[in-house]
Amino acid sequence: MKTMAGRHVVLMMALIGLMLLSSVCYAKEARVFSLEDINGRKYDLSGMKQKRMLILYFFDVESGPSQEGLLNLNQLAKKYADADLTVWAVTASPREKVADFVKKTAIAFPVLLDDSDVSSRYNARLVLPVVYVIGPGLKILDHFEGGGKATEMMLLRVAERELQQKNTLIAKAISEEIIRKNPRNIRAKTLRGYAAMKENNLPEAEKVFRSLLTAGSNGEIAGKEGLAAVYARKQETEKALRLIEEVEQKAPERAFPHVIKGDILYARNKKKEAEEEYRQAVQKKSAAPYHDAVRYNQLGRVYANSGDYLKARELYDRAVSIDPYYIEGTTNKGLTYAKEGRWDKALETYRKALALDSKDTFAAALAKRAAEMLSLQKDAERRKRIDKLVSDLAERFRNRKKAVAGSEDGWTSPPMVISFVDFREAGGLAERDGLSTVLMTQLADYLNASGRVRVVERVVIDRLLEELNLGSSDLADPETALRLGRILAARLIGTGSIFYLPQTTLLNLRLIDTETSAIPQVITRPIDTGASLEKELFRINREILRTVISKYPLRGYIVKGAGNDRFIVNLGSRQGVVPGTKFNVLEEQEPIKYKGKTLRSAPRHVALLEVVGVEPDLCFVRVISSQRPVRADDKVQEKIEEAAL
């Protein structure tokens, strides 16, 4: 009877524990607490709301099985110090025993002393370890109880969360540790393959997926699905489609094969068929955690492209609810508000993305543009000025009138103005919308900051295109783009295309001279739309500046002397002059008459000047060297320094 009574008590306590667990998980948000470690340092959970991921690990210092997962995480944290793996270990064990444990294990994480009811509130008394994976906003993402297989599952889930955050190094490290202990863990091997794909290491990914083909039926399905993704990335689409068909026959509830097939069809311009594949993907029941959000995002992008922004936002919200680290869905949602002119909602959404990753180039550029447009909406006077400007420009465009961009004397350089028009986007359906906007916004910022170039305000171009009812297909016509640049008084117009390939994104950027129709620069290169995008855009900015400096050197005149071997030149900061700029003084050579022809030679350099002071419309120069006295009305031309290029 006592035994039966004891069992009833244990069962009742377990049921109470499950009820407590349900209340914790139902709230979806971790209950805040404040605890101290053995050194008296205070840790307050409420201060971790902006943390991307935090692992709460409840354990007993006298129980080896409850420590297993913690020690595994500890090894990883020490080996990968830059991985930002944040763990708080919590224990109700006596202080002195905790101190011995910390000393013995050299634990890299804070071990917090629970002398209150925190463990009880987290249902971490009866069974240990108890582990919670907590995401942004203190949302509870995952929960595990017990050691052994539960520890393996916990580590695997942490690895999947790391892959969702694109932390491939730590994701691979955890998966390899799991495989070392359990070589038959198919999910860990599959994750390792997709981590390699995230790193663009397709040979390694292919090797991993091939090894799964002989690991039973589940392994065969995971292997073929992974190989299909690899072949699609390598543009071996027929191989990919054959494998997708095999997976669909053996595992019809798998979602990811439909995403792969949808992407292939979209790249072939079979957009209706692609949409149907994305629809099937969202109806399926089975998807890996790091693929789950993508299916909703891709269908959302289809709806957004067709103008159904409400439905698109519903799908983006679904994607982010599944994967809180899916920043692509958040910025895509912001763009739907931007396309509706709801700049306040767009900015609010982009800021949520920046709260998740403050270094995200897409979110930062889009937020900047939204803030500018919101400011414009509130500035009636500025709106009025822009409306008038756009009206005048539209009339010039329709009447084929050219703005006066050159100087009155024909020699003095006017300010160098560049206008970017929308880049034509083609190829596949990128996960992330808005690359054209990001590219133009970032390049405009970099070029304007240089002082050498002024970029026409984006809002003016957008309003003008709207007034003229010009779309991207119209701007693909070089003559239309040139006319647009000329009425904007832009010497150069930047245009081109963005082509989305499975393995990369190809940018083609052309600078066109609006006066001569010549193309002084073409930039064609693959660009990474991930973490290194900002660096790549900065390099493109430098290339554009080198072209401007080398092919459009500043030209002007000596206005008059300024005493002490100083002179004034009719060029200033508006043209991009900075202290240290050097000018050659030019002297025209007498033409030579030969057999009835007049032969003209290049002007002779008779002096070298250096800028020592700059104002908006003029600069002060000193004479470095001269072959004759410098005089008023002498022509000057910028001396191109190799270092500047």
pLDDT classification of 350: cutoffs 50, 70, 90: very high
pLDDT bracket for residue 477 (50, 70, 90): confident
Q: List Cα–Cα distances, 505 to 24, 26, 261, in angstroms.
A: 44, 42, 19
Per-residue confidence (pLDDT) for residue 182, from 0 to 100: 94
Q: Are 452 and 545 in contact (CB under 8 A)?
A: yes
Q: Look at the chain and count its residues.
A: 645
Question: At which residue do the structure tokens 């020592």 appear?
Answer: 612
Euclidean distance between CA atoms 281 and 298, whole angstroms: 10
Strand 582-587 relative to strand 604-614, pairing: antiparallel
Count of Cβ atoms closer than 10 Å to residue 452 Cβ: 22
Q: Which pLDDT score is estimated for 205?
A: 97
Q: Which two tokens stand for residue 144?
A: 């595990």
72 CB-side CA count, 13 A:
27
Q: Considering only CA atoms, which of 315, 320, 294 is closest in space to residue 305?
A: 315
Residue 392 main-chain phi, psi, to 5 deg: -65, -45
206-239: pLDDT as tens digits: 999 999 999 999 999 999 999 999 999 999 999 9
CATH code of domain 380-551: 3.40.50.10070
pLDDT > 50? residue 255: yes
Mean pLDDT value across residues 302-324: 97
Mean pLDDT (whole number) for 486-498: 91
Q: What is the pLDDT of residue 484?
A: 86
583 touches 614 (CB < 8 A): no
| Residue that wins the pLDDT comparison between 479 and 119 | 119
Q: Cβ-count burial of 208 within 10 angstroms (0-12 exposed, 13-18 middle, 19+ buried)?
A: buried
CATH of segment(s) 1-183 = 3.40.30.10
Reply yes or no on whether the pLDDT at 15 is more than 50.
Answer: no
Q: In the prediction, which pLDDT does 597 show?
A: 85
Q: Mind giving me the DSSP string for 419-486?
A: EE-PPEEEES--SS--HHHHHHHHHHHHHHHHSS-EEPPHHHHHHHHHHHT--HHHHTSHHHHHHHHH
Whether 22 has a pLDDT exceeding 50, the answer reads no
Cα 553 to Cα 244, 443, 510, distances in angstroms:
57, 21, 20
The least confident of 307-311, 510-514, 641-645 is: 641-645
Same CATH fold, 555-644 and 380-551? no
Confidence of residue 404 (pLDDT cuts 50, 70, 90): low
Please report which helix (H) or strand (E) contains residue 577, including its range: none
Tell me what the mean pLDDT of segment 173-179 comes to: 94
Name which of 184-198, 485-499, 544-558 the model is least confident about.
485-499
Q: So what's the pLDDT on residue 407?
A: 56
CA nearest to 144, candidates 58, 78, 230: 58
pTM over 0.85: yes
Residues whose CB falls within 8 Å of the CB of residue 101, separated by 6 or more in sequence, listed in order: 61, 93, 107, 111
Q: Which CATH superfamily is domain 555-644 in?
A: FlgT, C-terminal domain (2.40.10.410)
- What is the distance between the alpha carbons of residues 62 and 96, in angstroms, rounded to a whole number? 12
In the chain, where are the structural domains located?
Answer: 1-183, 380-551, 555-644
Q: Residue 7: pLDDT band by 50, 70, 90 thresholds?
A: very low
